[in-house]
Structure 1
Amino acid sequence: MTDSEYVSESDGVLTITVSTAAAGTSLAPGALVDGAAALREVAGGRRDVGAVLLVGAGANFCAGGDVRAFAGADDRSLLIRDLADTFHEFIRALRDADRPVVAAVTGWAAGAGMSIVLHADVAVAGPSSRLRPAYPGIGLTPDGGMTWMLSRAVGPARARRIILTDEIVDADAGLALGVLSTVVADDDVRTTAADTARTLADGPREALSAAKDLLTAALTTDLDEHLDLEAASIARMAGRPDGIEGVDAFVERRRPSFS
């Protein structure tokens, strides 16, 4: 399995540190490569985890790309295209792993950091947490799926306003918009996110993955199609080990022990 300074596994949770403290908590290319490799192991059944936890290396979750590295490149377009492709392979691997994703959004999540937060199923933040597109400030356009995810999260009009005006979204606004899931004390962000990830990992993994699939499908199906998908999914889960255990445990008035 692929563990590194950016990737670790404990209690059924795969933790990926997406930024590096060495460059001002900027996006870590090594984290993208190692993280994508570990996530592909999850998707391929070679790593048994029930949740993914995304964290930052320091006070910030991720302050965006390493702009100083951009400035020092002989060919900026080539460097940034290579980084974007690597970043997008990580995003695709995060999707394909099909596990609940929790983000511990400490401090700033700007640029690529904000893009990553948008892919989390549960984003835990503190009162001092801030999100910002950041790309317009350096004359670039978003990557990491920001324009796709933000439009779906907050609606096209709000997404245009936030991205085009490079709006700073504080914790309260992020919670109200549905970009953040919960706001706790700043000192509790990492602990709460880790506890949430462990709780998800201890749950009915196949059912949670199937629920994620339904939520994704809901973006492109009409109601009739979606009702059929839900009916097929719940029937399938009823015959699976966790579905059988969950129903039996409820009837027997005990806590379920999911596989």
Structure 2
Amino acid sequence: MQARVLTFNTLFKGEALARMAVLAETIERSDYDVVCLQEVISWRVLRLLRRVATSYAHIAYLPMFPLVRGGLVTLSRHPVVRRHFRAYAPAPPARPEWLLGKGALFTRIRLPEGHLTVVNTHLSANLDMDWSSSNVYARVEKAELERLAAAVDRIPETEPLVAMGDFNVPRDSPYLAEFISSTGLRDAFGGDTEPTFRPEYAEIGAIDQLLVRPGLDATTRLVFKEKVRLPSGRSAVLSDHYGIAADLTAGSTRDA
């Protein structure tokens, strides 16, 4: 089994429609099989994606009027045979992102050589950028990782699985290490802490992750580092995050 995947936090504010128009054209020209996007909050942005990236005939998301639940959208060039949204329980302190109903979007995709379960997630933000055990936001993230681990563990161990998205937790965090240990997943970056959040915005580090089950190999790279030209002619970055692209390979998982 082979698949090329992308995860990208698109940044919902600012010139979102203009940036997303460029992103949609970019992925339409790409050879990604599956694209996981975060912060696709607006229905206008979702409609733009569907109108421009037409080769992605299969799309998974959860409606939650007037928003897209969790801001999570998964695009696929291959059939989605199952989808499920696992919500994270809102936990204090109260903050605007509660309105998004954050969680994880699970999709099972039928590839030419077998099935792949794709987990697209966006955890709560750590507004203090403090991941010590005493920090209230760090405790929220830890609880969300535990809930995500329980959901991942429900997927049969024989199913190839990739979990990716904006975890909002640094790659060297003990909370992420606990999650990896609990689920048996593997960090496709091998612990490399090269920032995935643009340093010119904040020194947060590698908070976007791509994790795979044993038996699934991943060759990763950061993408969308350079500025692009918007429809207005102005140059801008696509987001405050970089994207993560990966080539996944595994043995045949074709159903008997």
Larger RCO: Structure 1 or Structure 2 (Cα < 8 Å, ≥ 6 residues apart)?
A: 2
Larger Rg: 1
The structure richer in strand per residue is 2
Q: Tell whether the structures are fold-level matches, with TM greater than 0.5.
A: no
The structure richer in helix per residue is 1
TM-score normalised by L of structure 2: 0.31
